[in-house]
Chain A
Amino acid sequence: MSNWIDIAALEDIPPRGARVVKTRLGCVAVFRTGDDRVFAIDDACPHKKGPLSEGIVHGNAVTCPLHNWVIDLETGMAQGADEGRVNTYEIRVEQGRILLDGARLLARSAA
């Protein structure tokens, strides 16, 4: 069951940028690409837990600020020779508002 939570306006995130949403499971990084798509992934690189929300966003990928791992925002998979993945969360934009699916985030935290 989805549980769409209105978290912010699209324009609260700069294009090719990210902001974080605090959850009981840790921070989730919400990205806005140059073409206004949004993605939500865990804000911790699979390599050394670098804050992905602070990386440079290009295409639909982000480069981790600590050691330049490139993470695909759509799949959460590390690109190139690096191996690893981060959790991704359902997210969408409606009428300029960003909606995050809180089902997993809230359900797991309640458990």
Chain B
Amino acid sequence: MAQKLVVIGAGMASGRMLEELFAIDAGAYDVTLFGAEPRGNYNRIMLSPVLAGEKEYGEIITHDADWYRDNGVDCRFGEPVVKIDRKAKQVVSPGGVTPYDKLVIATGSASFFIPVQGNDLPGVVGFRDLDDVEAMLKVAGKPDGQAVVIGGGLLGLEAAAALKQQGMDVTVLHLMGHLMERQLDPAAGYLLQKELEGRGINIVCKAHTQAILGKEHVEAVLLEDGQVFGADLVVMAAGIRPESWLAVDAGLRVERGIWVDDTMQTSDPDIYALGECVEHDEVVYGLVAPLFDMAKVLAKTLTGTVAEFKAPVVSCQLKVTGVDLFSVGDFSQGDDREEIVFRDPGRGIYKRLILKEDRIIGVVMYGDTTDAGWFFEMLKTGEDISDIRDTLIYGPAFQGGEALDPLAVVAAMPDSAEICGCNGVCKGTIVQAIHDGATDLGAIKAVTKASASCGNCTGLVEQVLASTLGDEFQVPTPSGICGCTDHSHEDIRRVIKSQALKSIPAVMQEMGWKTSCGCHICRPALNYYMIAEWPLEYADDLQSRFVNERNHANIQKDGTYSVVPRMWGGITTPQELRAIADAAEKYNVPTIHVTGGQRIDLLGIRREDLPAMWADLNSAGLVSGHAYSKGLRTVKTCVGSDHCRFGTQDSTGLGIKLEKILWGSWTPHKVKLAVSGCPRNCAEATCKDLGVICVDSGYQVSVAGAAGMELKETEALATVATEQEVIDLAVAFIQLYRESANYLDRPYKWVAKVGMDWVKQQVVEDAQNRAALCERFEISQSVYRKDPWAEQAKPEYRPRKWAALADLTLEAAE
């Protein structure tokens, strides 16, 4: 007599297992199949096309009523099993008890509902089964419907694209920094985001959901940063959770999922499990290929053949029409790994192979996945690629051929294309000059003025030389800003502007970075360029900041910090001094030092005391002095006409005005100002980045001094009659510096490169340009003219940033 096999769960894994089982021995078992859903097995992977309206439910059914009848399966659909009684070897369901000889648990997984208030409101759905899809389609049918998808992984993006296709206004909220971070590296994530945004899907990364709002039905989603997104529908796609409670109740071994051995047996020899509900060798699977492998193994196990499930290499592909994306294997970086990266920004193509010991161990492809199968095959077989490494990235079709000409782009430019924006020189003019005998950069500069001003186009001019002269011209070796790129600061700034690149991954992608996330040299530079170019749109990336700017204090050699409150123009009050003294005592400050920038430095502060100390200083009206930033440091003053018998103007008042306008701004390197009330120059204005000397008739403004590693007197910019003119000149000069200097060049270095004449022309002579510079500075300051200490001292920052992650000092040893 056949044994009784009871299967709990009528999904894809158990469906495939039954097929395999019947193929081996149709008569081995009498099968009873329980399913919580009121229907048989269908292809869950195709739910996205059903949601998008590209397919109907009927098309995705894999086992219909005839199939179950023909194979003698007793179907108990819509009847969830509520208990397993291992002693009596029976399962309990609403219809009564069903005895088994062998039991298979295939309960799959459920959507993980993030634990926030409102996650149980009507209109909040998962994305696991047909009921979810039907619930979504019901809402999608309403006009002007808004959907919020929580989770930018595979499932969430498929849901988002499908709902967009159904005419909904869709926002994806993703906790991580880029989409599909499990399958994609940041560069491919960026391309995917660009593509989906191009389809009108709103994507918010680093989105921390705080609550789901609504009374009777969901109405909106609130983020921790206060952003609110209206929602008639919220799709939870933030992950899945193995459905293992039946096994837990039955006392089976359950880790993250139901534990199974290589034969799919659970800790009870008569109970097996497979699919998304199990954990095998510490791994839980969510993609279909390994589940089918499990089905094969279990069918063999049940029929007495020895079979072992081996953890497979899993690849993934996104099922969004028109998006080509493939990823497989391990794509993290490592010392023993090498990468081959191919980027074609124009066509949105990105391919990355990760190699280890001459073998492919990971593949990420975006935009063109034609060769995915070939690479995947080589990854699985572990083929040695050292012989074909040179051409590997071009795929199997590559039959040799000529190397690509890096100058092709420049060569293809029309003669009318402008090369030098400052001097309005187009390519034709330069080519003509070359034919007339100007065959090096210096000569071109002299004849045409191209690249003679700000110098940003130097690389382009050299490329025109190279493409015109051919072998006769040797392009100087590119001096990349770090090992991650061959591009210079000038090139990077130009491309960020011209191609409107608004994120660090975007720059790395479009400019062909050789590493996946840069290094400590290029990331702070790129972060600065983003802030300077896109002040309103770009969100400062703290992880790309040097420690001092991330922690708003100066790190010292022993890991403690120094804290310097701002003293506007070097003026302070008894209250401020008292607050500083109180803070120094309260936090046991070992050293108090008066700085050269006219303020007080509190040294030796422990990191964990910073926020509390800031809060104390804030309450006395003191704010950050930015003594740690590549930004405005101090405006040093003398007491001027207020007190001094020689003072000609109110130098203190002007210094305070300048500092109030400029504070908080980020610059390529630090910026220090000084205002002296008379030519005796007590504020030492003539060795600052910008100095003002007051005279009877007005103000002498000079710039580009230095008093550090190098000593240099400032150079005259202009002499003006009013304070307002001084302020305009200072703001315009600093904005010009912000917009065109290389990161970590102090103003004197930058002025030496671009020339004082050009600076004067931009800031002094061209009044319209000066006004435009001031306006752009003010736009940026609308974001950055604020006290970072007040922000960082807020209670919500303390556990997340300032506290230790965990304290094991009290933990007992085993």
Q: Is the Cβ of B256 less than 8 Å from the Cβ of A95? A: yes
A7, A33, A58, A96 interface centre (most CB from chain B within 10 Å): A58
Out of A8, A24, A54, which one reaches B805, CB within 8 Å?
A8
Cβ-based interface call for B544 (8 A): yes
Segment among B37-45, B327-335, B720-728, B748-756 that sits at the interface with chain A: B327-335
Q: State which residues 586-642 of B face A: CB under 8 Å.
A: 607
Q: How far is the CA of A13 from the CA of B557 in the complex (A)?
A: 25
Cβ-based interface call for A30 (8 A): yes
Cβ-based interface call for A85 (8 A): no
Q: Is the Cβ of B186 less than 8 Å from the Cβ of A68? A: no
For A94, the closest partner residue in chain B by CB is B256
Q: Is the Cβ of A58 less than 8 Å from the Cβ of B523? A: yes
Cβ-based interface call for B543 (8 A): yes
Q: Is the Cβ of A105 less than 8 Å from the Cβ of B517? A: no
Q: State which residues 471-504 of B face A: CB under 8 Å.
A: none
Q: How far is the CB of B809 from chain A (nearest CB, A)?
A: 5
Q: Is the Cβ of B550 less than 8 Å from the Cβ of A54? A: yes
- Whether A68 contacts B520 in the complex (CB less than 8 A), given A12-B805, A13-B805, A22-B808, comes out as yes
Q: State which residues 67-92 of A face B: CB under 8 Å.
A: 68, 70, 72, 74-75
B contact residues, range: 35 or more
Q: Is the Cβ of A66 less than 8 Å from the Cβ of B557? A: yes
Chain A window 17-53, contacts with chain B (Cβ cutoff 8 Å), 1 for yes, 0 for no = 1011111100100100111110000000000111100
- Whether A74 contacts B334 in the complex (CB less than 8 A), given A15-B543, A48-B557, comes out as yes
- Whether A72 contacts B335 in the complex (CB less than 8 A), given A20-B804, A63-B520, comes out as yes
Q: How far is the CB of A19 from chain B (nearest CB, A)?
A: 4
For A2, the closest partner residue in chain B by CB is B814
For B813, the closest partner residue in chain A by CB is A110
Q: How far is the CB of B530 from chain A (nearest CB, A)?
A: 15
Q: How far is the CB of B550 from chain A (nearest CB, A)?
A: 7
Q: Which residues of A contact B175 (CB under 8 A)?
A: 11
Q: Is the Cβ of B807 less than 8 Å from the Cβ of A54? A: no
Q: How far is the CB of A73 from chain B (nearest CB, A)?
A: 10
For B551, the closest partner residue in chain A by CB is A54
Q: Is the Cβ of A54 less than 8 Å from the Cβ of B813? A: no
Q: Which residues of A contact B806 (CB under 8 A)?
A: 5, 7-8, 21-22, 100
Q: Is the Cβ of A58 less than 8 Å from the Cβ of B808? A: no
Segment among B150-158, B176-184, B369-377, B568-576 that sits at the interface with chain A: B176-184
A contact residues, range: 35 or more
Q: Which residues of B contact A55 (CB under 8 A)?
A: 520, 547
Q: Which residues of B contact A22 (CB under 8 A)?
A: 804, 806-809
Q: Is the Cβ of B185 less than 8 Å from the Cβ of A35? A: yes
Q: Is the Cβ of B804 less than 8 Å from the Cβ of A21? A: yes
Q: Which residues of B contact A107 (CB under 8 A)?
A: 813-814
Q: How far is the CA of A110 from the CA of B332 in the complex (A)?
A: 36
- Whether A34 contacts B177 in the complex (CB less than 8 A), given A56-B524, A107-B814, comes out as yes
Cβ-based interface call for B446 (8 A): no
Q: State which residues 138-194 of B face A: CB under 8 Å.
A: 175-177, 181-182, 185-186
Q: Is the Cβ of A106 less than 8 Å from the Cβ of B520? A: no
Q: State which residues 539-558 of B face A: CB under 8 Å.
A: 542-547, 550-551, 555, 557-558
Q: Which residues of B contact A110 (CB under 8 A)?
A: 812-813
Q: Is the Cβ of B523 less than 8 Å from the Cβ of A56? A: yes
Q: How far is the CA of A106 from the CA of B520 in the complex (A)?
A: 33
- Whether A54 contacts B555 in the complex (CB less than 8 A), given A22-B809, A63-B520, comes out as yes
Q: Which residues of B contact A49 (CB under 8 A)?
A: 558-559
Q: Is the Cβ of B516 less than 8 Å from the Cβ of A16? A: no
Q: How far is the CA of A54 from the CA of B805 in the complex (A)?
A: 14
Q: State which residues 12-42 of B face A: CB under 8 Å.
A: none
Cβ-based interface call for B70 (8 A): no
Q: Which residues of A contact B767 (CB under 8 A)?
A: none
- Whether A21 contacts B543 in the complex (CB less than 8 A), given A35-B181, A58-B518, A110-B813, comes out as no
Q: How far is the CB of A20 from chain B (nearest CB, A)?
A: 5
Chain B window 232-272, contacts with chain A (Cβ cutoff 8 Å), 1 for yes, 0 for no = 00000001000000000000000010000000000000000
Q: Which residues of B contact A8 (CB under 8 A)?
A: 805-806
For B555, the closest partner residue in chain A by CB is A65
Q: How far is the CA of A91 from the CA of B516 in the complex (A)?
A: 23
Q: State which residues 175-216 of B face A: CB under 8 Å.
A: 175-177, 181-182, 185-186
Q: Is the Cβ of B331 less than 8 Å from the Cβ of A35? A: yes
Q: Is the Cβ of B808 less than 8 Å from the Cβ of A24? A: yes
Q: Which residues of B contact A103 (CB under 8 A)?
A: 814
Q: Is the Cβ of B519 less than 8 Å from the Cβ of A58? A: yes
Q: Is the Cβ of B811 less than 8 Å from the Cβ of A54? A: no
Q: How far is the CB of A6 from chain B (nearest CB, A)?
A: 9
Q: How far is the CA of A100 from the CA of B808 in the complex (A)?
A: 11
Q: Is the Cβ of A59 less than 8 Å from the Cβ of B809? A: no
Cβ-based interface call for B109 (8 A): no
Q: Is the Cβ of A1 less than 8 Å from the Cβ of B544? A: no
Q: Is the Cβ of B804 less than 8 Å from the Cβ of A16? A: no
Cβ-based interface call for B800 (8 A): yes
Q: How far is the CB of B322 from chain A (nearest CB, A)?
A: 26
- Whether A75 contacts B811 in the complex (CB less than 8 A), given A63-B519, A94-B256, comes out as no
Out of A1, A19, A35, which one reaches B332, CB within 8 Å?
A35
Q: Is the Cβ of B800 less than 8 Å from the Cβ of A37? A: no
For A28, the closest partner residue in chain B by CB is B808
Q: How far is the CB of A32 from chain B (nearest CB, A)?
A: 10
Q: Which residues of A contact B524 (CB under 8 A)?
A: 56
Q: How far is the CA of A56 from the CA of B520 in the complex (A)?
A: 6
Q: Which residues of B contact A59 (CB under 8 A)?
A: 333-334, 515-517, 519
Can you list 30 A-B contacts with CB-CB less than 8 angstroms, sorted by A residue number? A5-B811, A12-B800, A12-B805, A14-B542, A15-B176, A15-B181, A16-B544, A17-B543, A22-B804, A22-B807, A22-B809, A23-B808, A24-B809, A27-B804, A33-B332, A34-B517, A35-B185, A35-B331, A35-B332, A36-B182, A54-B547, A54-B551, A58-B519, A58-B523, A59-B333, A60-B333, A60-B334, A63-B519, A100-B808, A102-B808
A-B pairs with the 9 shortest C-beta distances?
A: A110-B813, A19-B805, A63-B520, A59-B333, A7-B806, A65-B547, A56-B520, A16-B543, A54-B547
Residues of B bordering A, CB below 8 Å: 175-177, 181-182, 185-186, 239, 256, 331-335, 515-520, 523-524, 542-547, 550-551, 555, 557-559, 607, 800, 804-809, 811-814
Q: A22-B809, A35-B331 given; name 9 further pairs at CB < 8 Å.
A: A12-B805, A16-B543, A30-B805, A51-B559, A56-B545, A59-B334, A59-B516, A60-B334, A105-B808
